[in-house]
Chain A
Amino acid sequence: SAVISQKPSRDICQRGTSLTIQCQVDSQVTMMFWYRQQPGQSLTLIATANQGSEATYESGFVIDKFPISRPNLTFSTLTVSNMSPEDSSIYLCSVRDRAQETQYFGPGTRLLVL
């Protein structure tokens, strides 16, 4: 199994500012993902973080709004840029074990934008 930590665990931000969320995994993983969970909703995949290359974004999500870095196989960051109240969500980092295809999740970052 993989143990994932995220920083910060929660934050309250002002409209128009940006927040960078960090994700650290205790082992090297090939596949790392960022999800968003809006209040009362299920999880929506934002992007797949690729090590050494640009992230692959899902429909409706763009790099300018959600820039992602993945400098190595154990770490990634997601930035939520130019925030608005609609960005208030839980943001979850996730990794997949390639052998068993089990997906593991971090504890999430709870973001409130005022």
Chain B
Amino acid sequence: KQEVTQIPAALSVPEGENLVLNCSFTDSAIYNLQWFRQDPGKGLTSLLLIQSSQREQTSGRLNASLDKSSGRSTLYIAASQPGDSATYLCAVLTSGTYKYIFGTGTRLKVLA
């Protein structure tokens, strides 16, 4: 059974710092991995999607990498801003069930 874990659970950093969020999954048989952002009391916004054949994806200040064989993904946020404060969730689309399994999330706070 696929399990997805995110470390750290919470993170507080000063504005301008570069930071890395980690996601690990137990079953490497995946179609893709997606990173989402969730603001308090709101739905999820898709940030980046990495197909299983890809190593990384970039969008603006965000860069996500995927190492499928080791069951890991990282989300790199460059030059963090207070507006980046949110919960970040990773989710893997598993090959067996074709359903997304979500991680536990990292709650990020960027201080001005």
Q: How many residues of A contact B (CB 8 A)?
A: 19
- Residues in chain B near residue A48, CB distance under 8 A: 99
- Residues in chain A near residue B61, CB distance under 8 A: none
Q: Are B102 and A92 in contact (CB under 8 A)?
A: no
**Interface: A34 (CB within 8 A):** no
Residues of chain A in range 75-113 having any CB-CB distance to chain B below 8 Å: 90, 92, 94, 100-108, 110
Q: Are A106 and B49 in contact (CB under 8 A)?
A: no
- Residues in chain A near residue B99, CB distance under 8 A: 45, 48
| A contacts with B: majority SS | strand
* Cα(A110)–Cα(B89), bound, Å: 19
Q: Are A43 and B34 in contact (CB under 8 A)?
A: no
- Residues in chain B near residue A110, CB distance under 8 A: 41
**Interface: A42 (CB within 8 A):** yes
* Cα(A26)–Cα(B99), bound, Å: 22
Q: Are A92 and B43 in contact (CB under 8 A)?
A: yes
* Cα(A102)–Cα(B59), bound, Å: 15
Q: Are B102 and A106 in contact (CB under 8 A)?
A: no
Q: Are B42 and A107 in contact (CB under 8 A)?
A: yes
Cβ contact of B44, chosen from A44, A45, A92, A101, cutoff 8 A: A92
With A106-B43, A108-B42: A101-B93 Cβ-Cβ less than 8 Å: yes
* Cα(A75)–Cα(B93), bound, Å: 23
- Residues in chain B near residue A108, CB distance under 8 A: 41-43
9 pairs of A and B residues whose beta carbons are closest in the complex: A105-B44, A107-B43, A105-B43, A43-B102, A42-B102, A108-B43, A42-B104, A102-B49, A106-B43
Task: Mark B residues whose CB is within 8 Å of A.
Answer: 31-32, 34, 36, 41-46, 49, 89, 91, 93, 99-100, 102-105
The 9 listed contacts between A and B (C-beta, < 8 Å) are A42-B102, A43-B91, A43-B102, A48-B99, A94-B44, A101-B93, A103-B93, A105-B45, A107-B42
